[in-house]
Amino acid sequence: MVVRQGPRRAAGALLLAFIVAIVVSVSTASAAPRVLAAPAGAILVNFDIPVDAGSADYFHRAAQMAIAGNDDLVIVMNTPGGLLVNMVQIINSTQEVQNHGLAVYTYVPPAAFAASAGSYIALATNAIYMGNGSVIGPSTPYIIGGDPSQIQHVQNFATGLMRSLAEAHGYNVAAAVNMAENNTAYTGMEAANIGLVTGMADTLNVFLTKVGLSGVPLTTYSEPLYDQFLSFLSDPTVDGLFILVGMIALVLDLFHRTLFVTVVAVIMIALGFLGAGIIGASPVAILVLIIAAALIFIEVKAGHGFFALTGIVLGLAGTYLLAYGVQWSPSPFGAAQYAILGVVAGLIAVAFFYLSRIRRILMRQPKLIDPGLIVNKTGRAATDINPGRDGVANVGSEDWTAVSDESIERGAWVQVTSYAEGKVHVRRAPAPGVEPRESPESSKSA
């Protein structure tokens, strides 16, 4: 029997299959140790960033550079973790370097951390050195909104991956499994004492000496701007706020048209959707954000506050749902993210409160001329008015959106023939006080 899976389940299955392939590869490597080649130098990667699409691409570029130059690869790590799918990509890049007879080393400086997804990456390297006050782990993965069976499924594979990585490189298997199973963290000293890491080093120079790289050329490879951009968009909080604020700006611009605001709003929405696609966000989250924008649009018309409040709440929920069903280590939402969302929600609420007050004040102001009383009055065309296109006519000292069945140039006199749906229908008219001339034919007939 064939069971049809949704896109997210299929993506999860691909990730798990990818992890299985890595487990098999690592197990094979542990069964047949290889001899490392003498490196021509070393490439240093400052991995002080989350694990996401940008950092995965950055690390892949560094790995290819190391292979091309016959260099070892050094990771100076200080990461909180991130997306599991990108963690697997980084582990795969690590193994590409190792498969060419080169080494990959991890150094966690004093007071830094190899947390969550970072701990898996560290255990995939040939040696790990940590400074005083540094931490490795905890390492239990999360699935926001996942059911218990999905969570257990991913955790079992993560534990298996952690076990195989530790076995392959001679680290304490029980301690490594404990990080994945029980979400345990170890200080650098604790990890060194139990053999979870290779040893301690309080400076980069001491670390390089211990791994035999003190006398080789060291090249620091910085993260490209493109990868920094990908990392920025890999944050569901950023994506949700871009989409929500962009839609609000677009709605407000309908009532006060400015090209600049429209362009900025469209760019923000596009970037938000791009980021949502990068992290594999749920389509449900996108739908919720669109509904939130629709409610805010209704609020501009209604003006009593209920729709704005509901739209803001739904917008925050949609932002949270962007991470729904995606595998993380650790969770992408913490105190900072919740604080940002709360502040933005408050600012939006205050803005709509003042906009509603301004709207009510403007609605109470009487117009200089009642729209129903301008029929048959004359004025001037403030712009060219052509059939099928709106123009502007100044009648009774007020500008009106005008339409006409004939072409009327700017400055010409016009007469209002009717008013409907906020627009006046006009026709060309003679200037006030000027009688239209009779044609020669009409004079003869008289």
pLDDT tens digits for range 217-253: 999 999 999 999 999 998 888 888 888 888 777 777 7
Q: What is the pLDDT of residue 367?
A: 56
**pLDDT tier at 23, thresholds 50, 70, 90:** very low
The residue extents of the domains of the chain are 7-228, 235-364, 371-428
Between CA 158 and CA 147 the distance in angstroms is 17
Q: Which fold has domain 7-228?
A: 2-enoyl-CoA Hydratase; Chain A, domain 1 (3.90.226)
Q: What is the pLDDT of residue 16?
A: 45
Neighbour tally for 255: CB within 10 Å: 10
Q: What is the pLDDT of residue 345?
A: 67
Is the full-model pTM beyond 0.85? Answer: no
List the single range of 104-113, 272-281, 322-331 with lowest mean pLDDT: 322-331
**Which CATH architecture is the domain 371-428 placed in?**
Beta Barrel (2.40)
Q: What is the pLDDT of residue 283?
A: 83
Residues 6+ apart with CB under 8 A from 166: 123, 172, 173, 175, 176, 177, 196
Q: What is the pLDDT of residue 14?
A: 42
pLDDT at 40 over 50: yes
Q: What is the mean pLDDT of the chain?
A: 81
pLDDT at 338 over 60: yes
Task: Find out whether 48 and 79 touch, Cβ atoms under 8 Å.
Answer: yes
| Beta strand extents in 159-241 (DSSP E only) | 186-187, 199-200, 218-221
List the single range of 143-147, 271-275, 392-396, 442-446 with lowest mean pLDDT: 442-446
Q: What is the pLDDT of residue 5?
A: 38
pLDDT at 34 over 50: no
Per-residue pLDDT, averaged over 372-393, amounts to 88
Q: What is the pLDDT of residue 312?
A: 77
Q: What is the pLDDT of residue 218?
A: 96
Between CA 392 and CA 404 the distance in angstroms is 11
| Pairing mode of beta strands 113-114, 82-83 | unpaired
Q: What is the pLDDT of residue 349?
A: 66
Q: What is the pLDDT of residue 2?
A: 30
Task: Find out whether 271 and 245 touch, Cβ atoms under 8 Å.
Answer: no
pLDDT at 432 over 90: no
SS (H, E, C) 323-356: CCCCEEECCCCCHHHHHHHHHHHHHHHHHHHHHH
**pLDDT tier at 361, thresholds 50, 70, 90:** low
Q: What is the pLDDT of residue 348?
A: 66
pLDDT at 359 over 80: no
Per-residue pLDDT, averaged over 169-197, amounts to 96
Between CA 346 and CA 247 the distance in angstroms is 17
Which tens digits make up the pLDDT trace of 392-417?
999 887 888 899 999 999 999 999 99
- Say which residue, 114 or 241, is predicted with more confidence: 114
Q: What is the pLDDT of residue 112?
A: 96
